[in-house]
């Protein structure tokens, strides 16, 4: 099994952490993109071992805002190489790198991969613009960071699949600030807060035998700056200007009400 120093680019991380000012001052919310982040041989192994849509017990999202997105958090079912990489991203070494880059102290990784792990989107799939859940009710921790590693070799720009970052408030999206193509070995890091609007809103136009693959890691802290604090919520979706998602009543309610009430709504509907 590979050692941590074989998986993470330790010397490169010492250099990249010096971009902390660029990260923290990025607009419309703190974020950064690192290309060619991992050793090339590691990425090739991850792409080779990443299971296809029919080779694994995937959880499939079917809601209008999350069409044909697959997810897996079961480490016992993951290929050894992917499990080792996720463990490296949850290591103290990588967490210290995140703390230095983002300025967030006391970062807590998530070995349970709640909502994270392996992600895969099928042709025609999308993930509409949203902010993520901001508080883990069971652990009583604030969600602070997203880390995404893309694993798509020879990805074509006209296949869509770009991560879009938008400026907006709690009521309306204003402008698209950045589009990030999901090319192999690209690492994206961004804050999770009340204005970190992001998504993959355009349907994938890749060939039938291709999918959009990534690893997703989420990080927490015990508390957050007061100026970032809002009401606790699950994922909240917003439509882009001129867009209609067609979100059901149940999907809208889930952002703001307890699961028990959602079950009652479902039975009545």
Q: What is the CATH number of the domain that holds 48?
A: 2.60.120.620
Q: What is the pLDDT of residue 63?
A: 86
Residue 252 in any domain: the answer is no
Q: Which helix (H) or strand (E) holds 249?
A: helix 249-253
Number of domains in the chain: 1
| 67 to 9, 102, 210: CA distances (angstroms) | 34, 31, 16
Residue 99 in any domain: the answer is yes
13 or 231, greater pLDDT: 13
Residue 41 in any domain: the answer is yes
Residue 180 in any domain: the answer is yes
Q: What is the pLDDT of residue 96?
A: 98
Please name which of 154, 152, 226 lies closest in space to residue 182, comparing C-alpha atoms. Answer: 152
Residue 263 in any domain: the answer is no
Residue 246 in any domain: the answer is no
Q: Report how far residue 199's alpha carbon sits from residue 14's, in angstroms, rounded to the nearest whole number.
A: 30
The model's pTM? 0.91
Helix residue ranges per DSSP H, the chain:
4-7, 10-16, 20-25, 40-49, 80-89, 92-102, 249-253, 259-268
Residue 245 in any domain: the answer is no
171 or 208, greater pLDDT: 208
- At residue 179, φ and ψ (nearest 5 deg) are -120, 130
Q: What is the pLDDT of residue 251?
A: 44
Tell me the pLDDT of the chain averaged across its residues.
91
Please check the confidence at residue 260 and state whether its pLDDT lies above 50: no
Q: Could you report the per-residue pLDDT of 202-258, keeping only the tens digit for each? A: 999 999 999 999 999 999 999 999 988 888 999 999 999 999 876 543 444 344 333
How many residues in the chain?
A: 269
Tokens of 70: 């697959």
What band does 259 get if pLDDT is binned at 50, 70 and 90? very low
Residue 212 in any domain: the answer is yes
User: Which of the 8 DSSP states describes residue 234?
Assistant: S
Q: What is the pLDDT of residue 2?
A: 85
259 or 102, greater pLDDT: 102
User: Which structural domain range is residue 65 located in?
Assistant: 4-231
Please name which of 82, 116, 59 lies closest in space to residue 7, comparing C-alpha atoms. Answer: 82
């Amino acid at each position: 099994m590979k050692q941590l120093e074989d998986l993470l680019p330790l010397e490169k991380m010492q250099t990249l952490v010096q971009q902390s000012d660029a990260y923290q001052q990025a607009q419309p919310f703190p974020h950064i993109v690192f290309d060619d982040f991992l050793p090339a041989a590691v990425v090739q192994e991850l792409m080779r071992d990443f299971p296809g849509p029919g080779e694994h017990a995937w959880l499939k999202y079917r809601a209008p805002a999350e069409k044909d997105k697959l997810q897996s958090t079961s480490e016992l079912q993951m290929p050894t190489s992917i499990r080792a990489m996720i463990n490296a991203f949850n290591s103290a070494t990588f967490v210290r790198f995140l703390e230095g880059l983002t300025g967030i102290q006391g970062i807590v990784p998530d070995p349970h991969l709640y909502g994270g792990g392996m992600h895969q989107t099928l042709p025609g799939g999308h993930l509409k613009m949203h902010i993520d859940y901001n508080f883990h009710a069971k652990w009583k921790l604030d969600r602070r960071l997203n880390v995404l590693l893309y694993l798509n070799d020879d990805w074509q720009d006209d296949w869509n699949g770009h991560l879009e970052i938008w400026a907006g408030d709690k009521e309306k999206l204003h402008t698209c600030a950045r589009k990030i193509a999901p090319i192999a070995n690209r690492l994206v890091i961004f804050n999770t807060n009340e204005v970190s609007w992001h998504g993959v809103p355009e349907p994938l136009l890749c060939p039938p035998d291709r999918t959009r693959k990534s690893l997703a890691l989420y990080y927490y802290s015990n508390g957050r700056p007061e100026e970032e604090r809002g009401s606790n919520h699950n994922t909240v979706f917003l439509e882009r200007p001129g867009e209609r998602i067609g979100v059901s009543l149940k999907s809208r309610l889930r952002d703001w009400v307890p699961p028990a009430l959602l079950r009652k709504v479902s039975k009545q509907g």
